[in-house]
Amino acid sequence: MLPTRRTFLKRSGLFIPAALAAPSLTRAQPAAPAPTAKSSAPARELSADLIILGGSVGGCAAALSAARAGLRVIMTEETDWIGGQLTSQAVPPDENALIETVGGTRSYQAFRRGVRDYYARHFPLTDAARANPALNPGNGSVSKLCHEPRVALAVLTELLAPHVASSRVQILLRHTAVDAAVTGDRVEAVRVRNAESGRELILRAPYFADATELGDLLPLTKTEYVTGAEAQRDTGEPHAKPEYQPKNQQSFTCCFAMEYLAGEDHTIDRPRDYVFWRDHVPPLTPAWSGPLLSHYYSQPRTLKPFAMGMDPAKGTGLFKYRRIVDRTNFVPGTYAGDTTLVNWPQNDYMLGNLVDVPAAEFALHVDRAKQLSLSLLYWMQTAAPRPDGGTGWPGLRLRPDIVGTEDGLAKYPYIRESRRIKAEFTVTELHVGADARRAALNVAAPAPVHAEQFPDTVGIGSYAIDLHPSSGGDNYIDVPALPFQIPLGALLPRRMENLLPACKNLGVTHITNGCYRLHPVEWNIGESVGALVAFCLAKKTSPRSVRAKPDLLRDFQSALTAQGVRLAWEKK
């Protein structure tokens, strides 16, 4: 046990190891998860230079960065797959147009090359696909690298393998933080629990990184944080709300992989909540275009009714959007049909949140979100309009093997918005929004305008401010953003000295979360956090001092540049 002078902050309701277990298609009623039994054995202690809670994209990047600098790292992950968005959430990467060249860090681009190399080494590609240096395995339209989650998992495992083999990195799968010991403004230890055995470990380090999808370490450590939508009077953002709405958060999605086999019938049993979701019209402002289960949704920019359509037989429309298997890239017979990853407007869950809710409510929303996704599949199999005038595509089938679950739904919900630290510096729409920036600088089109240039930059990113419909009743907020930088100040909590964000929990707003939440940006955040911890330990200084002292900041930025972290966009 830890000394009694340290107070443990008991976590209330966010550790629910069974909440993400797949509900049966025939389960009569949703059930709250049973608590994992706590082992009676005393908790064993482990120590490292850096403890990373969460094996997300950012967590993996932080572990790689720190290990390459010679640090000892322990990384936990509550599922049995590291990789977050790329793997357990089953989301092909959302990236900027320059990601193949100057749009990401050197290590992120190495990951992308690793994906293509993995296909070349292990898959029976056609000669044309093998010769294509820009191979897109699924030829999906959302990304230049739409690929299977298991491939991302394999590549991340390969990247970490030498560090795991040398014991520089230890990965604790199926472990979740349950308490934290804090003295003053420093985290001293975190207690984690194994979801399978119930055994607990106490993890100690001079630095901790919160790389969980929901910012779970923030309430445990009493680190000040924000949730939901800020008030316009506080941020000055044109798209902010009139009043602070902490429960107004972006929808989350239970994704699934879906293959099409023409002439076959793979119709599932009618999901328990199908009638509800079939008739459900999202209560949004401006109004949604009709029932959620349809080919229609609100066009994100104009909010007008829009039908992208779907024809799996031709591989067009929504089916092509996040397609992860295009069988024409592979030797005939490798795949029976093409496979797409369903992360569409039609299965965004808007009726509740996963942040700061009791365990039973968390479990209920995940269960209902899974029912929504299964209902969408059933609707497509039985009722979706076809171009030939018929209805339904019974040849659509779940691919549970692709996502590593029994029910075919991803291991973890796709999280767009988490708790966010109250940071030394918060990025707002006025810094990166194209229209807001023009207005603030009084620059009229077509004169060029650039995002705020941050002297403490530790990376770059580029993506539209893309907010999906929210639990607070907002329809899409989708506005242009300028290629931006990641300021070090956004990675520093106002008070806590040795806790750093390494996922989507940095100092951004509800609005700017919409462009800082994507795969390459999260990777850059994690990589820079891992490098920052290594720099501080080597220099015997603190993260806050690095930002405050020009000579330290200059040296740290030079170190980032040397390891391939781009600090600014190339000027055109």
Nearest-angstrom CA–CA distance, 251 and 469? 6
Phi and psi angles of residue 215, each rounded to the nearest 5 degrees, phi first: 70, 45
The answer to whether position 148 is within a domain reads yes
Counting residues of the chain whose pLDDT is more than 70, the rounded percentage is: 93
> Mind giving me the DSSP string for 306-347?
EE--EETTTTEEHHHHTEEE-GGGB-TTS-SS-EEEE--GGG
Helix axes 57-68, 106-122, angle to 10 degrees: 100
Domain that holds residue 389: 252-403
pLDDT at site 364: 98
280 and 390 in a common domain = yes
The answer to whether position 244 is within a domain reads no
Nearest-angstrom CA–CA distance, 196 and 17? 8
Do 349 and 417 meet the contact criterion of CB atoms below 8 Å apart? no
| Residue (of 37, 14, 62) closest to 503 by Cα position | 62
Estimate to the nearest angstrom the gap between the alpha carbon of 361 and the chain centroid.
Answer: 21
Q: Please, what is the average pLDDT of the chain?
A: 93
Instruction: Name every residue whose Cβ is closer than 8 Å to that of residue 425 and which is 6 or more positions away in sequence.
Output: 454, 456, 487, 489, 490, 492, 507
266 and 380 in a common domain = yes
Do 256 and 408 meet the contact criterion of CB atoms below 8 Å apart? yes
The answer to whether position 238 is within a domain reads no
The answer to whether position 189 is within a domain reads yes
Instruction: List the structure tokens of 357.
Output: 């809710």
At residue 572 the predicted structure's pLDDT band, cuts being 50, 70 and 90, is low
pLDDT at site 390: 96
Positive or negative, the Cα torsion across 61, 67, 68, 69? positive
At residue 153 the predicted structure's pLDDT band, cuts being 50, 70 and 90, is very high
155 and 181 in a common domain = yes
Instruction: List the structure tokens of 487.
Output: 């300021």
The tokens 């580029």 sit on which residue?
A: 462
Nearest-angstrom CA–CA distance, 203 and 38? 17
At residue 40 the predicted structure's pLDDT band, cuts being 50, 70 and 90, is low
Number of domains in the chain: 3
289 or 488, which is more confident: 488
Estimate to the nearest angstrom the gap between the alpha carbon of 103 and the chain centroid.
Answer: 18
Do 305 and 288 meet the contact criterion of CB atoms below 8 Å apart? no
442 and 392 in a common domain = no
The answer to whether position 353 is within a domain reads yes
pLDDT at site 25: 26
Strands annotated E in 144-185: 169-173, 175-183
Nearest-angstrom CA–CA distance, 392 and 382? 4
425 and 388 in a common domain = no
Nearest-angstrom CA–CA distance, 415 and 77? 15
The C-alpha R_g of the chain, in whole angstroms, comes to 23
Nearest-angstrom CA–CA distance, 257 and 400? 7
Nearest-angstrom CA–CA distance, 213 and 217? 10
| Residue (of 85, 341, 21) closest to 213 by Cα position | 85
> Mind giving me the DSSP string for 366-405?
HHHHHHHHHHHHHHHHHTPBPTTS-B--TTEEE-HHHHTS
424 and 395 in a common domain = no
Q: Of the candidates 175, 199, 220, which is a domain's last residue?
A: 220
504 and 374 in a common domain = no
pLDDT at site 38: 58
Residue 141, SS3?
coil
Helix axes 550-562, 519-539, angle to 10 degrees: 120
475 and 327 in a common domain = no
Dump pLDDT digits (tens) for 284-310: 999 998 999 999 999 999 999 999 899
The answer to whether position 187 is within a domain reads yes
Do 510 and 228 meet the contact criterion of CB atoms below 8 Å apart? yes
Do 431 and 238 meet the contact criterion of CB atoms below 8 Å apart? no
Do 345 and 262 meet the contact criterion of CB atoms below 8 Å apart? no
373 and 259 in a common domain = yes
430 and 393 in a common domain = no
| Residue (of 310, 313, 343, 340) closest to 326 by Cα position | 340
Estimate to the nearest angstrom the gap between the alpha carbon of 503 and the chain centroid.
Answer: 8
Helix axes 519-539, 106-122, angle to 10 degrees: 120
Residues 506-514 have a mean pLDDT of 98
Dump pLDDT digits (tens) for 359-397: 999 999 999 999 999 999 999 999 999 999 999 999 999
The answer to whether position 8 is within a domain reads no
Residues 169-191 have a mean pLDDT of 98
Q: Of the candidates 171, 197, 220, which is a domain's last residue?
A: 220
198 and 50 in a common domain = yes
pLDDT at 48 over 90: yes
Q: How many helices (H) and strands (E) does the chain have?
A: 16, 25
427 and 399 in a common domain = no
The answer to whether position 102 is within a domain reads yes
Q: Of the candidates 403, 435, 468, which is a domain's last residue?
A: 403
Nearest-angstrom CA–CA distance, 432 and 437? 7
Strands annotated E in 206-336: 207-210, 225-226, 252-253, 256-260, 296-298, 305-307, 310-311, 316-317, 323-325
| CATH code for the domain in which residue 152 is found | 3.50.50.60
